[in-house]
Amino acid sequence: MRWVWALGLVLLFSSAARAQDETPDPYQSAYDAASGLAAEGKWKEAAEGFRQAVRLRPTAVGLFNLAQAERNAGQLTEARRDFERAQASARDEGATDVEHLAASALAALEQQIPKLRVRAPEGATVTLDGEEVDASRSVELTTGSHRVEVRVAGKPPFVREVTARSGQTVEVVARFPKPIPSPEPKVAPPPPPRTVSSAGPPTGAVISLGVGAAAMVAGVVFHLRRNEKLSDAAADCIRQGNGWSCPPALEHDPAHQEAKDQASSAELARNVLFGVGAAAALTGGVWWALSSGKERTQVAITPTSARLRMAF
């Protein structure tokens, strides 16, 4: 393994330093402890030990071993940073082999770093684990769980928990519920249009009804006159059953005969007038009823418009 090769180089270098100087070296002590942790596969603890050592002496080999431990611990972004530092330090030190190893490790590591891509509405604020990030480009992640939050003014925040794995691109699409439109105010329906009919009873029907009424009244008058004249003619007669018995002398009485003639004339006039009145009244009533289904003018008025409607 590459980290073993680099670690061997460190141990060889450290052993040579101890052979020349037996004075305890904090740098060497930190390296020895980190090397032991790395041999046990405790990469996170080993990375912390190598980190402590390079703070004391930032050599190319030390930085390379730190980056190897960070990569194996899943701290990929930190590993890339320290591989770059190791490459630059090796170039300065003339350690060509370490420089080449760091370059190869960087190329492989670039494909392993997980990334986050967020699709959010324009103007949205995106935070990753509480830190604001630029949603217009991919954001590098460390492996493990992360919290993505997208905020848009006037809407509840969109929150998503994601898990990043090596070599994976996590895509989050922020969706916000559509705003519920406020209900439109209810408007009471307009009252039914008031229909005003301009059509009255036909003139002919009115005249006919008037003639009928006048004829009936005149008929009543002649009926009363007939009864009066019959009473005068029967003044000296005796009623027998449905008729009258008059003395023979009354047949030649001019007054009696005149009363009978007047009663007969009044009866005839009554019958004619009653007939005319009934016929005229019936004609006027039928005329009026039939005219209501013919020409009619209606004016309908509503709150929003006025219209004139002709019905035929």
String of DSSP letters for 221-268: HHHHHHHHHHHHHTTT-EEETTEEE--GGGGG-HHHHHHHHHHHHHHH
CA distance 233 to 225: 12
Closest by CA position to 148, among listed 130, 168, 124, 169:
130
| Model pTM above 0.85 | no
Tell me the two tokens of residue 214: 């006048």
Across 147-151, 257-261, 269-273, 297-301, which has the greatest mean pLDDT? 147-151
pLDDT, tens digit, for every residue of 147-176? 999 998 888 899 989 998 888 889 899 888
With 90 as the cut, is the pLDDT of residue 101 above it? yes
How many residues does this entry show for the chain? 312
Q: In this structure, which topology does domain 2-110 adopt according to CATH? A: 1.25.40
Domain boundaries along the sequence of the chain: 2-110, 115-173, 195-311
Read off the pLDDT of each residue in 285-302 and give the average, rounded to a whole number: 60
Counting DSSP H helices and E strands in the chain, the numbers are 8, 12
Residue 121: half-sphere exposure toward Cβ, Cα within 13 Å = 14
Do 277 and 212 form a contact (C-beta atoms < 8 A)? Answer: yes
